[in-house]
């Protein structure tokens, strides 16, 4: 199955990701505020919803979280944000906690849009409830942590109404420097692409300790360490770089070989701390991807380099974004950042080349709701998630895995606990 067939046959009519060109202007109607709910009041969820509040016509009117303390923190934060923007405080009837909070949120007639920022294991379940309720949805990546969940997601995609917008959180595509160089690459500036070198090096995630937490609660609060809850670092975090590779090459990988392991980390959990993946794409394009996530030193580098017959492109999170060729090109504002080391942000509040990525991604989404046309990015999100699972399976099994092997295997991860204990 080629990429076109995959996207068309698995999800019907699909709107691809929007490329936001630098300088695009947005005009939101003053009376068109989108009533927004945040599902998952953690660090990333709070950051994104705050950005929506400050940069778009969305207003946070409802919150939901499994844990009461997370919900209380979110409530205090967004009441403050709303007050600073001249908006009303969140009504207490629109605060939901516990294992059924997502269902209560979806059932609320006071909500137009739901932002899903829960641990990845729950993304598809929560997406299904939101879409079924007719809500617009902004779902963080990944769209599923195993093949079984991605199949569920593709079925959900078929049920998205023409009046609904569903976006997946691949905001890196909307970062102005990356959007600009992507336009050059897609226009043939590199000639025939032969290979890509991609990387994501990050420090270890920090432990979250909560007094009196039992083993299951500890797992949930430290979901980044848990393979079933997160999908491992390749699927949960490195997915942004793999998504850029797919987007710029214009296809998903056909097969992968990989190595890696848990060579440094000793804390609880079962996620690997390093990956080395060699992907083969159509036309024999090879992507060499490496990843690390350990250490207390703040080393953070992420990006890729593409090599073609007529030129080479450098696309980093931080540093010069440029093309070296007989007709060189560079994003001017990125050149001055070359000497400044990148800083990792667990919430995704990056600077440098990603400084406006969240803002511009959110604006395209809200604009699709207010002015149209609507988006349905589920199938495209699934394609990238499966690309990461391909590398993960090749690493775990220690031998090459093809795209068809992955889909035929139908891997499934189990949560291994009941959330009713948190009711």
Q: What is the pLDDT of residues 200-245, one digit of tens each?
A: 999 999 999 999 999 999 999 999 999 999 999 999 999 999 999 9
Taking the C-alpha atoms of residue 116 and residue 172, their distance in angstroms, rounded to an integer, is 18
**Cα–Cα distance, 104 to 116 (Å, whole number):** 14
What was the pLDDT predicted at 69?
97
Residue 88, class by beta-carbon neighbours within 10 Å (0-12 exposed, 13-18 middle, 19+ buried)? exposed
Task: Report the pLDDT averaged over residues 42-64.
Answer: 97
Contact 294, 264 (CB under 8 A): yes
CA distances from 413 to 119, 148, 408, 416 (A): 14, 8, 15, 9
- The Cα–Cα gap between 31 and 357 comes to 26
Q: Let me know if domain 175-355+384-409 sits in CATH 3.30.360.10.
A: yes
Q: Choose the weakest-confidence range: 9-13, 20-24, 40-44.
A: 20-24
pLDDT at 299 (0 to 100) = 87
- pLDDT for 177-207, tens place per residue? 999 999 999 999 999 999 999 999 999 999 9
- Average confidence score pLDDT of the chain: 91
Query: Across-strand partners of 376?
Result: 166
pLDDT digits (tens, 9 = 90+) for 380-415: 999 999 999 999 999 999 999 999 999 999 889 999
> Residue 343 has what pLDDT?
60
Query: Given a cut of 80, is residue 346 above it in pLDDT?
Result: no
The mean pLDDT value for 256-279 works out to 98
* 3-class secondary structure, 64: strand
pLDDT confidence of residue 415: 97
pLDDT tens-place string over residues 140-168: 999 999 999 999 999 999 999 999 999 99
Residue, of 32 and 33, whose pLDDT is higher:
33
What is the predicted pLDDT for the residue at 6?
46
266 by Cβ neighbours in 10 Å (0-12 / 13-18 / 19+) ranks as exposed
* Dihedral in degrees, nearest 10, Cα atoms 4, 378, 170, 298: -110
pLDDT tens, residue by residue, 92-143: 999 999 999 999 999 999 999 999 999 999 999 999 999 999 999 999 999 9
pLDDT confidence of residue 27: 37
**pTM, full prediction:** 0.91
For helices 3-11 and 147-158, give the axis angle rounded to 10 degrees: 60
Q: Is the pLDDT of residue 7 over 90?
A: no
Residue 233: the pLDDT is 98
306, pLDDT greater than 60: yes
* CATH class of segment(s) 3-172+365-377: alpha beta
Task: Sketch the domain layout of the chain as residue ranges.
Answer: 3-172+365-377, 175-355+384-409
């Amino acid at each position: 199955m080629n990429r076109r067939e995959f996207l068309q046959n698995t999800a019907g009519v699909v709107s691809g990701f929007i490329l936001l060109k630098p300088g695009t202007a947005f005009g939101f109607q003053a009376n068109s505020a989108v009533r927004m709910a945040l599902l998952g009041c953690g660090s990333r969820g709070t950051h994104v919803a705050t950005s929506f509040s400050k940069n778009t016509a969305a207003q946070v009117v409802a919150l939901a979280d499994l844990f009461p303390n997370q919900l209380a923190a979110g409530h205090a934060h967004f009441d403050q944000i709303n007050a600073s923007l001249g908006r009303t405080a969140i009504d207490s009837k629109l605060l939901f906690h516990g294992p059924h909070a997502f269902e209560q949120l979806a059932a609320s007639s006071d909500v137009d849009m739901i932002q899903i920022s829960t641990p990845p294991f729950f993304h598809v379940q929560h997406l299904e409830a939101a879409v079924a309720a007719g809500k617009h949805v902004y779902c963080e990546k990944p769209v599923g942590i195993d093949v079984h969940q991605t199949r569920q997601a593709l079925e959900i995609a078929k049920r998205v109404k023409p009046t609904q917008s569903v976006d997946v959180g691949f905001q890196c595509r909307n970062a102005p420097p990356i959007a600009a160089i992507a336009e050059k690459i897609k226009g043939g500036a590199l000639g025939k692409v032969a290979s890509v070198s991609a990387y994501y090096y990050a420090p270890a995630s920090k432990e979250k300790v909560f007094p009196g937490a039992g083993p299951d609660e500890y797992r949930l609060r430290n979901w980044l360490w848990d393979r079933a809850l997160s999908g491992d670092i390749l699927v949960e975090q490195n997915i942004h770089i793999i998504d850029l590779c797919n987007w710029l090459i214009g296809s998903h990988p056909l097969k992968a070989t990989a190595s890696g392991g848990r060579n440094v980390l000793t804390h609880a959990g079962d996620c690997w701390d390093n990956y080395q993946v060699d992907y083969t794409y159509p036309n024999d394009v090879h992507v060499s991807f490496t990843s690390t996530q350990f250490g207390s030193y703040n080393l953070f580098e992420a990006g890729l380099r593409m090599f073609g017959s007529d030129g080479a492109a450098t696309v980093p999170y931080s540093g010069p974004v440029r093309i070296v060729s007989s007709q060189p090109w560079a994003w001017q504002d990125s050149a001055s950042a070359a000497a400044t080391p990148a800083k990792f942000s667990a919430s995704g509040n990056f600077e440098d080349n990603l400084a406006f990525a969240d803002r511009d991604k959110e604006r395209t989404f809200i604009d699709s709701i207010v002015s149209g046309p609507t988006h349905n990015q589920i199938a495209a999100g699934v394609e990238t998630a499966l690309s990461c699972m391909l590398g993960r399976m090749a690493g775990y099994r220690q031998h090459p895995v093809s795209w068809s092997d992955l889909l035929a295997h139908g891997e499934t991860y189990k949560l291994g606990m009941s959330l009713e204990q948190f009711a």
